[in-house]
Chains A and B, each alone.
Chain A
Amino acid sequence: MWEAFDVGLPDQAAGRAMIAQQLLNGLVSGGVYALFALGFTLVFGLHGILNLAHGGVLMAGAFIAYYTVQAGLPLALGLVLAIIGGGLLSVLLEFTAFRRLRRSGEVEFGAIISSIGANLVLVTIAQRISHTQVMRFPFGTFPIVIYQFLGVRVSALQLFMAACSLVLVVILTFCLYRTGAGRQIRAVASNERAAVLVGTNPNAVYFQTFFLSGALAGAAGVLVGLAFNSIHFMMGEPYLLRGFVVIILGGLGSVPGAMLGSLLFGMIQTLTIAYLPSGLTDAIIYSILFLILLVRPNGLLGKPAAGVMRGRR
């Protein structure tokens, strides 16, 4: 379709425009990855929990928005409900899947197992609800408007996605670094026992981080559902798997790292799809992940933790 569109431009300019177009597309999808990966990395960075049910929360967000729109309500409400619902679901996960593990002292391994279990539960429930069908937003849920300038096309949806990602990321950063709650969160993360001694309630902190994390994933779910206009019970899995690449690229546990990682990853992925054999995309992406772990396991902005000896857990 690009050939048709670019007719009339000199070859070189067309090539440049195409690269610009790919980079733009990558940037937009990177924003969505950021929404997903920020919560993922936040919960790991603060609590040492790798929440493999995070993809399930993304999927749940998309489901909530879909059924809201199906009920004849506006998409904006669907987005808000998905954010709230994603947050609450994530809190529920903390309560059912992780709370007891925190006391057992084997969080690292236990959390992975427990969240795999929780994810299976979420996915199966969604499969039942949707009768294993792929669902689509009704036509016209989001107006199809395309702007173009300098040979680059931007759809209204892309602008909306970018704006959403930006706003939510800014809100998260604000919550984390500029509010009392954020300071408490970071205090508990650095030393739970000391934070308790000075009167911080760790359970409240876990509530806040899981809510923030889930809310972002819920929003990401809606955006993903809109972008591909396809909502199904397995939609969380590729995001979970790619989320790993993003957070490792940025540095596991690092919030700024996850932002940088998402944008980079979005662009790498779009360029790979555009310029390399399509069947190899996944192989290349995961080889990159493996390579990062090999060369720079702490990612771009992470703390040195990847090779730290495990002592008594």
Chain B
Amino acid sequence: MIKFLAAYRPLIDLFLLQSGYALSQYIVLRAGVFSIASAGLAAIGAYVAALLTMRLGLSPILSIPIGAVAGLASALLISWPLARLRGVYQAIATLAFVQIVLSLNLYAEAVTGGAMGLNGIPSLVGTWTLLPVLIGVGYVVTAVNANKLGRAFEAMRQDEAVAASLGVSVTLNQSIAFGLSGAIAGLYGGLEAFHSYALEPNQFGFAFVVATLSYVVFGGRRSVLGPIIGTAVLVALPELARPLAENRTLAYGVLLMLVINFMPRGIVDSLLEYVHRRRMARP
């Protein structure tokens, strides 16, 4: 067991980090917000946390939560214009946000290190920090799903007019979902900063967007298990099969096309649905 952990530690850490990003992406889609802003929000969290510690000597115990708050605040700030948009318009607006963060990050070289990024961030976050944090975030997302907010999100996702007719404020609830997504992204940005010594702007670019969307689409967009299992499989696949590692992007591309066309609910939700139907069919 110990040996197994040691050998696969980097992979496990990667899974724990990526799961957080997947949950950040999941929660907005859950509420019917078509945002792909998580990449930009994670970048904000990561740089805020890293800079507070490197430049001002703040303890990571403080700077990581501040990074999460920065993610939350940025999300709430752009949720106002975003709430007036729908569907692809939200996707494009959030993509613009990701690009703005990326290019400002490159431009503000004096502060952020520009294209070189930041190096020598103390590596203080390991498996035993990431695991409880993921459990905590997983708990929050599960709680949301089971309560008032989750019911409102589900209604909005499926039919906004119905949600509104029942008194659900779509603007307010979209902002809440978006803020939660921003807080999670910011938190994980900070964790990643203190996990991997270095940050560079392009790790929060389009590839990030594609990866997190893949986790959620592959795993499923309804159950909380969807994004987590989706992440686990997609992170582990290249390690299990060498040819997949060499053709990672190709495999991602083909997989995305296959899943959205042939199993649009993702593996976990499709499976849960199948089990549910079997149970219903029984007398």
Q: State if A and B touch, Cβ cutoff 8 Å.
A: yes
- Main SS class of interface, A: helix
Q: What interface size band does chain B fall in?
A: 35 or more
Closest CB in chain B relative to A303 CB, distance in Å: 13
* B210: A residues at CB distance < 8 A: 116, 120
Q: Please tell me if B217 contacts chain A, counting CB pairs below 8 Å.
A: yes
How many A-B residue contacts, CB cutoff 8 Å? Answer: 137
Which residues 97-126 of B sit at the A interface, judged by CB distance below 8 A? 97, 99-100, 102-104, 106-107, 109
Closest CB in chain B relative to A265 CB, distance in Å: 14
Q: Please tell me if A279 contacts chain B, counting CB pairs below 8 Å.
A: yes
Closest CB in chain B relative to A88 CB, distance in Å: 18
Task: Tell whether, in the assembled complex, residue A120 and residue B96 are in contact, meaning their CB atoms are under 8 Å apart.
Answer: no
Binds B, one of A72-80, A148-156, A201-209, A305-313: A305-313
Task: Tell whether, in the assembled complex, residue A112 and residue B91 are in contact, meaning their CB atoms are under 8 Å apart.
Answer: yes
Question: Which one of A101, A252, A280 contacts B88 once the chains associate, using CB atoms below 8 Å?
Answer: A252
- CB-CB nearest in chain A for B157: A310
Task: Tell whether, in the assembled complex, residue A113 and residue B107 are in contact, meaning their CB atoms are under 8 Å apart.
Answer: no
Q: Please tell me if B262 contacts chain A, counting CB pairs below 8 Å.
A: yes
* A120: B residues at CB distance < 8 A: 210, 249-250, 252-253, 256
Complex: A100 Cα to B263 Cα, angstroms: 11
Q: Please tell me if B32 contacts chain A, counting CB pairs below 8 Å.
A: yes
* B249: A residues at CB distance < 8 A: 120, 123-124
Q: Please tell me if B5 contacts chain A, counting CB pairs below 8 Å.
A: no
Additional pairs, 14, CB under 8 Å, beyond known A113-B213, A280-B107, A306-B84: A117-B257, A124-B249, A124-B250, A241-B99, A245-B96, A248-B89, A282-B103, A286-B97, A290-B97, A293-B96, A306-B85, A310-B159, A311-B161, A312-B159
11 A-B contact pairs sorted by A residue (CB < 8 Å): A109-B34, A120-B210, A121-B253, A121-B254, A124-B247, A124-B249, A283-B104, A290-B100, A294-B84, A307-B85, A310-B86
The 7 A-B residue pairs with the shortest CB-CB distance, nearest first, are A120-B253, A117-B256, A282-B103, A117-B257, A121-B253, A279-B107, A283-B103
Binding site for A on B (CB under 8 A): 32, 34, 81, 84-89, 91-93, 95-97, 99-100, 102-104, 106-107, 109, 158-161, 164, 170, 206, 210, 213, 217, 247, 249-250, 252-257, 260-262, 264
